[in-house]
Amino acid sequence: LLFGERPFWWIGESRLFVNKQPKIHQFPSTCETGPGSPSGHAMVTAAVWWVIVSSLGSFLYSRSHSVLLSAAPYVLYVVMLVAVGISRIFILAHFPHQVVAGSITGFILGIVLSCRVPEGRPLLFFFSLSFGLLFGALMLHAGLKQLGIDLSWSIALAKKWCSHAEWIRLDTAPFSSLTRDCGALLGLGLAQYWKPGGWSLPWAPRALSMAVSSMGLYHVNRLPLPVRPLGLFYSLFFVKFVLVPLIVMVLVPGLVHLLTFKKKKD
């Protein structure tokens, strides 16, 4: 809803450079299809890493009582955000203010959301939130279209100005982000429903679970999906992200628990 142009299409669309075209270079990750404001990469990085960094900072302080040591994760956090921001600007996916807006929004989200983990909620909570968001967005899209505002305006611009058609990826479209989040929400609810509180594992099986989950997610993420018809793509994309919390929270730790339990019995 904030819209926001992206440099890789704005350079052509603005018609400011018709007489003197700047020498620009696009990259495979330049051709994002969503609007540019605020930067999603900066926002997600700032939000997710805040949760990790603030816990690590408190942990280090509780063990060492050293302000210097406990400040190290926060310094790394800032360095990482700057690196992500510069890379988004460098590939022409963003203007600097969009990256700054994304980092600040993500930082606030990280603080707010880390205090509000939806623990102990019934499956119905996740189910209604997931489908409510999905249908709410669809209704908003249809309603605004009736008023002459097309929320998919950026996809046409990305297709027009991307130097390689194969760099346009449907999973960067705004509706893909939404289906991904709604799918993950439902998956989180199902995971909590099937294994409330998750598996409590000692550190070694827990580390093994994390390693196996990472490999599992890598492969789930690489699963090629048919891009036509669109409805099929979005449905499969939704299902793919329902699976993510189930793999990480139920399937892999459950298998590891079974294996270690069996080994102990032997």
Q: Binding to ligand BG6 by residue 44, rule CB under 6 A?
A: yes
Q: Binding to ligand BG6 by residue 5, rule CB under 6 A?
A: no
Q: Kindly list the distances between the CA atom of residue 90 and the CA atoms of 26, 30, 47, in Å, as whole numbers in the listed order.
A: 9, 9, 22
Q: Binding to ligand BG6 by residue 103, rule CB under 6 A?
A: no
CB atoms under 10 Å from CB of 28, counted, come to 11
| Closer to ligand BG6 by Cβ: residue 110 or 253 | 110
| Closer to ligand BG6 by Cβ: residue 33 or 209 | 33
Q: Binding to ligand BG6 by residue 130, rule CB under 6 A?
A: no
| Closer to ligand BG6 by Cβ: residue 212 or 217 | 217
25 is an active site residue? no
Backbone φ, ψ for residue 221 (5° rounding): -65, -30
Q: Please pick, from the candidates 8, 30, 41, 95, the single residue that binds ligand BG6 as defined by CB under 6 A.
A: 41
41 is an active site residue? yes
- Minimum separation from the CB atom of position 2 to ligand BG6 (A): 11
CB atoms under 10 Å from CB of 89, counted, come to 16
- Minimum separation from the CB atom of position 201 to ligand BG6 (A): 29
Which long-range CB contacts under 8 A does 235-240 form with residues at least 24 apart?
A: 237/171, 237/176, 237/179, 237/180, 237/183, 238/179, 238/180, 238/182, 238/183, 239/183, 240/183
Burial 135-163 (b: 16+ CB within 10 A, else e): eebeeebeeeeeeeeebeebbebbeebbe
Q: Please pick, from the candidates 7, 9, 34, 248, the single residue that binds ligand BG6 as defined by CB under 6 A.
A: 34
Window 52-91: contact mask with ligand BG6 (x via CB under 6 A): ------------------------------------x---
Residue numbers of the site for ligand BG6 (CB under 6 A)? 32, 34, 39-41, 44, 88, 93, 172, 176-177
| Active site residues per annotation | 41, 94
